[in-house]
Structure 1
Amino acid sequence: MIQQINQPWLQQYPDEIPHKINYEEKPLQEYLKDAATEEPQKTLLHFMGKEMTFGEVYEGALKFANALKDLGVVQGDRVAIMLPNTPQSVICYYGALFVGAIVVQTNPLYVERELEHQMVDSEAKVIVCLDLLYPRVMNVKNKTKLEHVIVTEVKDFLPFPKNLIYPYIQKKNYGFKVEVNYQGKTHSFVELLRSSAAEEISLEIDVKKDLALLQYTGGTTGVAKGVMLTHYNLVVNTTQCIKWMYKIDHGNEVILCALPFFHVYGMTVGMNFSVMDRSKMVILPRFDTKQVLQAIEKQKVTIFPGAPTMYIGLINDKNVRKYDLTSVEVCISGSAPLPIEVQERFEKLTGGKLSEGFGLTEASPVTHFNLMWGKRPSGSIGVPWPDTDVVILSAETGEPAPPGQIGELIIRGPQVMKGYWNRPEDTEAAFRGEWLLTGDMGYMDEDGFFYIVDRKKDMIIAGGFNIYPREVEEVLYEHEAIQEAVVIGIPDTYRGETAKAFIVLKEGCQLSEEQLDSFCRKHLSAYKVPKAYEFRKELPKTMVGKVLRRALVDEEKKKLQLEKKSS
């Protein structure tokens, strides 16, 4: 297809960043083993007052690997991890890899419908979940091929006396404490580790062919697809990240992990980065501005990967100036566009650098990034990472577009996925030869910096989470009072974008926004629930009856412009 391409972005690279990298061809989990062997007493993670060394995490991962082996897990089986950021999520991730399993990262926010789809599609054999999520898992288990459920509690890895106090806090916050029936094929995570040996399991892994991860994403159809990422894909992208941060104090950084590990972005630039770089990760189970500010000050955080909504939340916290944030040196922003005013305000607060990048699950995920210590054009997603080729494909000619011309971003590189799990047709549609079609529209300037101007897909990015309109629409159509529904993204000062639903009711039917909101919350994760509803008698359509989604988007833009003028 495309043989030779220009790479003007390479001229932007400082001398410290190589144009090409020699990547190690070893399984991802070997980085934990090597660090634990050479520096066993070095701290790997901090979690709510508890610290664990590389040696301790490695021992836990080996014990978990042997526990899985005893449960019948063999190389190539899928093991689902449905946990927030905790020590258990790190131990389970690497432990599953040590037994040769393929990790299936599962969002703890999933409702039963979403969880069932992912378990059925991946054919996961085992799932690890929090006790709070246990009822949800058991409600779908019999509809899947899940054989074993492993349950853990947040208190399992809390220091004394927090581990004793936590059950009371849990009951206060949630109104109940889940009682888990540990028998048969429901197992206690702590008991499994206690009864398992910390022994290595002999494996033969082809790092370029064998999968380490199935990372689920949505598509334009709203159907969640399993992105197949090999050990090599993940090793490459983490290595690229480390090489890009050439000024950091490798091995001595403190990385704030507030981004969820079940999201490929948090997994790569948080967890895998920390292990490979042998730096300390400060783990937070959820983003809370007070907890983040306290963690930065107390733990002297130096690297903070996040999403724009996180930085927005921090700079607007009324108490932000009470905290010392000057330890922060590098902030890696992704998942959504970063407003320039947010970048400037956050850099003033910390004295560090906040730069925006770009990626997608299908690329492990990072493909572009702005220079941390160099030219950073306003609104740009930066330049491609080493060994990453990018072309703007002209819609008119099907050939590479010249600088300044808008087209579809297509990518080629060693971090690009193997394909979609059990979906050969979708895989074929996603590629043109060895080039991944991103569906994102943008352009490259004369200096090799890239800009995203629109999305070919209708995906909405709200606070770093992807919302696929059709998935929400399908849920709305399940309501007996709804005749037609369409969902679009509208601007939101905090989340960047949020979902708005336009509804046409069936004749004679009545429905309030509150009733509709309650209905959606039963069938969708909270972040996918529309934040605004508008009831109409009809929707704008083409001559053939297709809803003009773009017309609704344009209407909302005009409304916003009028509101700004009037204010």
Structure 2
Amino acid sequence: MENKPWVQHYPETIPEEIEIAEKSLQQFLVETAKKYPTKAAIHFNGKEMTFNEIYESALKLANYLKGLGIKKGDRVGIMLPNTPQSFICFFGVMFAGGVVVQTNPMYTEREVAYQMKDSGAKVIIALDILYPRITKVKNETDLEHIIITAIKDYLPFPKNLIYPFIQKKQYGFSVKVEHAGNVHLLTEIMKTSTLEDPIVEVDFENDLAILQYTGGTTGFPKGVMLTHKNLVSNAKMCEAWLYKCEEGKEVVLGALPFFHVYGMTTVLILSVMQGSKVVLIPKPEPEVLLKAIQSQKVTMFPGAPTMYIGLLNHRNLQKYDLSSIDSCISGSASLPVEVQEQFEQLTGGKLVEGYGLTEASPVTHANLVWDGERIKGSIGIPWPNTLAEIRSLETDETLPPGEVGELVIKGPQVMKGYWNRPEETAKTLRDGWLYTGDLGYMDEKGYFYIVDRKKDMIIASGFNIYPREIEEVLYEHPAVQEAVVAGVPDSYRGETVKAYIVLKEGHSVTEKEMDKYARKHLAAYKVPRLYEFRDELPKTTVGKILRRQLVEEERKKVENQEGEKKA
């Protein structure tokens, strides 16, 4: 108790330590498919698939991948939104013994090429509309095969016939892909492949399940190596935390993208463990979410603050009944207190803030959902099997309650390390402790608070955005002499991306032109929303640009504006 003051707050139903059976991720699908074979596992635009259908489809894909030469430990990219295929392909790769490389469908050619090269992926599974993007960069990577699927493939009649016309109108083009050579159609794989169990032995503690890309301000995104133990442990902790959720009875809103580790663990993996039905939402717009919650009687809604804010501020909110919601854990960014209070009042359910990071699979802390104290502004207390401390940035000693230092974490959910980056791993993992780069403190009761980020990462609408990556793109513009990117306060997104630019002498460029340029090279959520052209940027005596000074300037501007409004 001396080192874990938070345990005193656990309700009787949450153990300090939970037993974690040594089972691979795919084994949970095997067991759930046997227990609930005819139960709906997913709901997608009016069509449902049972756990047994997901299981059999995953086996077919696994056998086909083995036929393509995929061996244990080979990396397979999955570049899909939240669709039935994302479930099938995740477990199909696992059954084949492969390592999933989750890839954001919004990535540009440049970003796809980087991630495929870095991971050494041999196969990528993607939507048809992404096919041109992949083919343009394939030769820069180790990719040998491309598996293509389409949204219409898993839509009910007549939506499956109508969707291609909607898609063409939306994107301005349509793609026709043939099942030939090194290009394969998932629909054909489902017709021809076998239902044998490939039976790949899994070393629970050491074998990788996924490479989940994250990044920092000092370089390009890094592949976080997460093992079966890491992910199973974190999902089991989540199950223990949500002790009132009933096996086989919950309906989960699948709005968090599965290419983000938060959505993958708390929705995809946990729902398979618990036999829950997931309502798949590929594009989480407020009206779509409201309709889904009401029509499907959603009981559990893991989300990001912008999702809850979007619903609360929607003009048609009063038309919908959201009273089925029982529990929500908010992550990816800090949850404003007023949003929490309004959402709980609206739904009658509980909305609590949690904390995590990709390197911890991802959750380490959360507020108590039902029983026990919830403290406003706190990220809550550590989950079972998890240790947390605040350490001095100068001496690395454990600090007493109330003192600000770096949050460090230890537990079975902590990553194995960074892919092919031993130096980065050694900096972040020390004696089994994960150094988060986040500054915070613990109070006398054992509740934790985050006060700032040591890293300069920007979190906008729940997405992690890394300034260095954007700066690299801006520096390639012929008119740009210097550029720095920072996160500035935004009432809706939490933070938004702002670029500060010094132009080369004799050059001129407008905000509109910079925006058009950035959109060619960056996913939409990374593109700066604001530009400021300056004659010079603040720097240290050795020439390092002072990003934090710019952020402070923005904060003061916002505070002054708010002060003027109140006056």
Query: How does the TM-score come out when normalised to structure 2?
Result: 0.98
Indicate whether 1:173 and 2:170 are aligned.
Answer: yes
Provide the secondary structure at the position in 2 that maps to 1:304: coil
Pairing partner for 1:465 from 450, 463, 466: 463
Does structure 2 retain, via aligned residues, the 8 Å contact 1:67–1:193?
A: no
Q: Where in structure 1 do 4 or more consecutive aligned residues deviate above 4 Å? A: none
Indicate whether 1:449 and 2:437 are aligned.
Answer: no
Deviations 1:27-61 (A, max 9, x none): 11000001111221111110110001111100000
Hey, what does 2:137 align to over in structure 1?
A: 140
Hey, what does 1:297 align to over in structure 2?
A: 294
Which residue identity does 2:289 align to in structure 1?
Answer: V
- CA distance in structure 2 between the aligned counterparts of 1:305 and 1:556, rounded to whole angstroms: 31
Does structure 2 retain, via aligned residues, the 8 Å contact 1:460–1:467?
A: yes
Task: Tell which deviates more after alignment, 299-308 or 373-382.
Answer: 373-382
Question: How much does 1:396 deviate?
Answer: 3.4
Provide the secondary structure at the position in 2 that maps to 1:21: coil
Question: How much does 1:398 deviate?
Answer: 1.7
Hey, what does 1:70 align to over in structure 2?
A: 67
Hey, what does 1:103 align to over in structure 2?
A: 100
Q: What RMSD over aligned residues (CA atoms) do the two structures have, in Å?
A: 1.0
Does structure 2 retain, via aligned residues, the 8 Å contact 1:411–1:436?
A: yes
Pairing partner for 1:411 from 409, 423, 441: 409
- CA distance in structure 1 between the aligned counterparts of 2:18 and 2:227, rounded to whole angstroms: 18
Which residue identity does 1:336 align to in structure 2?
Answer: A
Provide the secondary structure at the position in 1 that maps to 2:217: coil
Provide the secondary structure at the position in 2 that maps to 1:187: strand
Indicate whether 1:269 and 2:266 are aligned.
Answer: yes
Map 1:192-203 onto structure 2 (within 5 A).
192-203=189-200
Which residue identity does 2:146 align to in structure 1?
Answer: V
Provide the secondary structure at the position in 2 that maps to 1:556: helix
- CA distance in structure 1 between the aligned counterparts of 2:9 and 2:545, rounded to whole angstroms: 44
Indicate whether 1:488 and 2:486 are aligned.
Answer: yes
Hey, what does 2:249 align to over in structure 1?
A: 252
- CA distance in structure 1 between the aligned counterparts of 2:290 and 2:17, rounded to whole angstroms: 37
Hey, what does 2:148 align to over in structure 1?
A: 151
Hey, what does 2:76 align to over in structure 1?
A: 79
Structure 2, gaps ≥5 residues long: none
Which residue identity does 1:65 align to in structure 2?
Answer: A
Indicate whether 1:117 and 2:114 are aligned.
Answer: yes
Q: Residues 84 and 362 of structure 1: is their aligned pair in 2 closer, same or farther, counting only changes over 3 Å?
A: same
Hey, what does 2:398 align to over in structure 1?
A: 400
Does structure 2 retain, via aligned residues, the 8 Å contact 1:129–1:152?
A: yes
Provide the secondary structure at the position in 2 that maps to 1:489: strand
Hey, what does 1:42 align to over in structure 2?
A: 39
Pairing partner for 1:431 from 393, 417, 429: 429
Deviations 1:419-477 (A, max 9, x none): 11111111111112110110000000000000000000000000000111111111111
Which residue identity does 2:207 align to in structure 1?
Answer: D
Hey, what does 2:502 align to over in structure 1?
A: 504
Hey, what does 1:532 align to over in structure 2?
A: 530
Does structure 2 retain, via aligned residues, the 8 Å contact 1:222–1:469?
A: no
Task: Tell which deviates more after alignment, 158-167 or 4-13.
Answer: 4-13
Question: How much does 1:209 deviate?
Answer: 0.7
Question: How much does 1:222 deviate?
Answer: 3.5
Which residue identity does 1:415 align to in structure 2?
Answer: Q
Deviations 1:224-260 (A, max 9, x none): 1111111111110000000101112222000000000
Hey, what does 1:163 align to over in structure 2?
A: 160
Hey, what does 1:478 align to over in structure 2?
A: 476
Which residue identity does 1:242 align to in structure 2?
Answer: E
Question: How much does 1:64 deviate?
Answer: 0.6
- CA distance in structure 2 between the aligned counterparts of 1:89 and 1:514, rounded to whole angstroms: 36
Provide the secondary structure at the position in 2 that maps to 1:303: coil
Task: Tell which deviates more after alignment, 36-45 or 512-521.
Answer: 36-45
Provide the secondary structure at the position in 1 that maps to 2:439: strand
Task: Tell which deviates more after alignment, 544-553 or 84-93.
Answer: 544-553
Pairing partner for 1:319 from 312, 316, 325: 316
Question: How much does 1:322 deviate?
Answer: 0.5
Provide the secondary structure at the position in 1 that maps to 2:554: helix
- CA distance in structure 1 between the aligned counterparts of 2:546 and 2:85, rounded to whole angstroms: 47
Does structure 2 retain, via aligned residues, the 8 Å contact 1:101–1:212?
A: yes
Question: How much does 1:5 deviate?
Answer: 6.6
Indicate whether 1:554 and 2:552 are aligned.
Answer: yes
Pairing partner for 1:21 from 13, 18, 23: 18
- CA distance in structure 2 between the aligned counterparts of 1:563 and 1:204, rounded to whole angstroms: 61
Does structure 2 retain, via aligned residues, the 8 Å contact 1:221–1:471?
A: no
Does structure 2 retain, via aligned residues, the 8 Å contact 1:391–1:409?
A: yes
Hey, what does 2:29 align to over in structure 1?
A: 32
- CA distance in structure 1 between the aligned counterparts of 2:259 and 2:62, rounded to whole angstroms: 19
Pairing partner for 1:91 from 88, 92, 97: 88
Deviations 1:144-163 (A, max 9, x none): 11000000000000011111
Task: Tell which deviates more after alignment, 213-222 or 53-62.
Answer: 213-222
Which residue identity does 1:469 align to in structure 2?
Answer: P
Question: How much does 1:302 deviate?
Answer: 0.2
Task: State the number of aligned residues.
Answer: 564
- CA distance in structure 1 between the aligned counterparts of 2:146 and 2:2, rounded to whole angstroms: 50
Deviations 1:469-495 (A, max 9, x none): 111111111111111111111011110
Hey, what does 2:55 align to over in structure 1?
A: 58
Hey, what does 1:216 align to over in structure 2?
A: 213
Task: Tell which deviates more after alignment, 202-211 or 457-466.
Answer: 202-211
Provide the secondary structure at the position in 1 that maps to 2:437: strand
- CA distance in structure 2 between the aligned counterparts of 1:251 and 1:538, rounded to whole angstroms: 60
Which residue identity does 2:22 align to in structure 1?
Answer: E
- CA distance in structure 2 between the aligned counterparts of 1:203 and 1:560, rounded to whole angstroms: 56
Which residue identity does 1:349 align to in structure 2?
Answer: L
- CA distance in structure 2 between the aligned counterparts of 1:460 and 1:385, rounded to whole angstroms: 25
Hey, what does 2:338 align to over in structure 1?
A: 341
Question: How much does 1:546 deviate?
Answer: 1.4
- CA distance in structure 1 between the aligned counterparts of 2:395 and 2:421, rounded to whole angstroms: 29
- CA distance in structure 2 between the aligned counterparts of 1:524 and 1:547, rounded to whole angstroms: 23
Pairing partner for 2:515 from 514, 517, 520: 517
- CA distance in structure 1 between the aligned counterparts of 2:2 and 2:122, rounded to whole angstroms: 44
- CA distance in structure 1 between the aligned counterparts of 2:316 and 2:113, rounded to whole angstroms: 42
Hey, what does 1:384 align to over in structure 2?
A: 382
Among all aligned residue pairs of Structure 1 and Structure 2, give the percentage whose two residues are the same amino acid.
63
- CA distance in structure 1 between the aligned counterparts of 2:395 and 2:65, rounded to whole angstroms: 52
Pairing partner for 1:7 from 4, 11, 22: 4
- CA distance in structure 2 between the aligned counterparts of 1:280 and 1:182, rounded to whole angstroms: 32
- CA distance in structure 2 between the aligned counterparts of 1:558 and 1:415, rounded to whole angstroms: 38
Which residue identity does 1:229 align to in structure 2?
Answer: L
Question: How much does 1:182 deviate?
Answer: 3.1
